């Protein structure tokens, strides 16, 4: 009688372990790399399809819980950097006064404000300027920051970040970025 219980237990455990192995094979965690940077959460491969977190894609996400619908919008944003009237893309280490010209088109959602920041190689981020966007904002517009003085203290990559705040949200969302290379003298 005891051997029947042992056999039933062995059979039950083997069925459970084989279903766990199958489930693990059907859903696999995958590495996600966006623009050369690995994303911590990564993504998943399910039945041959890759699923990635849309929040990592630099766009505006609107989730409607009632309909279980996710809408992802990525407007076309071009960023230009000017020292006076001269555009630039790299700088020498040291202080510089510049402004950022932002051209936005293909905007399919209502936003309440925009913000421009600069992020240093050490990860510290400083606000350059933010501004409310009026109700008459259309699907395309231009935004230029005031002149901003910044000290590029060391050589490396600095990032200009452009954020939008959707009208339905209290948080800014990163939608575009531009890299500035600071080189030593």
Mean pLDDT (whole number) for 64-82: 90
Mean of pLDDT over the chain = 85
Main-chain dihedrals φ then ψ at residue 147, nearest 5 degrees: -60, 140
Give 17-43 pLDDT, tens digit per residue: 444 444 455 788 888 887 777 888 788
Q: What percent of the chain has pLDDT over 70?
A: 84
pLDDT (0 to 100) of residue 5: 55
pLDDT of residue 6: 44
Helix (H) or strand (E) holding 56, with range, is: none
Residue that wins the pLDDT comparison between 26 and 66 = 66
Distance in angstroms (rounded) separating the CA atoms of residues 127 and 161: 9
Residue 2 confidence class, pLDDT cut points 50, 70, 90: low
**Between residues 31 and 130, the one the model is more confident about:** 130
pLDDT digits (tens, 9 = 90+) for 83-113: 999 999 999 999 999 999 999 998 888 899 9
pLDDT score of 21: 46
User: Which tokens hold the place of 76?
Assistant: 């076309």
Give buried/exposed letters for 131-152 (b at 16+ CB in 10 A, else e). eebeeebeeebebebeebebeb
* Whole-number Å distance between alpha carbons of 71 and 177: 21
pLDDT attached to residue 31? 87
pLDDT in tens, 133-171: 877 667 889 999 999 999 999 999 999 999 999 988 889
- From CA 93, how far away is CA 152, in angstroms rounded? 5
């Amino acid at each position: 009688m005891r051997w029947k219980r042992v056999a039933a237990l062995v059979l039950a455990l083997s069925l459970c372990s084989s279903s766990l192995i199958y489930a693990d094979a059907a859903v696999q965690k995958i590495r996600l790399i966006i623009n050369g940077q690995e994303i911590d959460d990564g993504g998943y491969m399910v039945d041959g399809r890759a699923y990635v977190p849309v929040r990592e894609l630099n766009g505006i996400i609107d989730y409607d819980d009632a309909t279980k619908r996710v809408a992802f919008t990525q407007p076309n944003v071009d960023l230009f950097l000017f020292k006076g009237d001269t555009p630039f893309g790299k700088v020498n280490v040291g202080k510089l006064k510049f402004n950022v010209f932002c051209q936005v088109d293909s905007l399919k959602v209502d936003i309440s404000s925009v913000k421009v920041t600069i992020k240093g190689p050490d990860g510290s981020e400083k606000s350059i300027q933010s501004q409310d966007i009026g109700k008459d904002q259309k699907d395309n517009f231009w935004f230029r920051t005031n002149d901003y003085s910044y000290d590029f203290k060391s050589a490396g990559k600095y990032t200009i970040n452009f954020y939008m705040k959707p009208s339905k949200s209290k948080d800014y969302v990163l939608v575009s970025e531009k890299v500035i290379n600071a080189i030593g003298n």
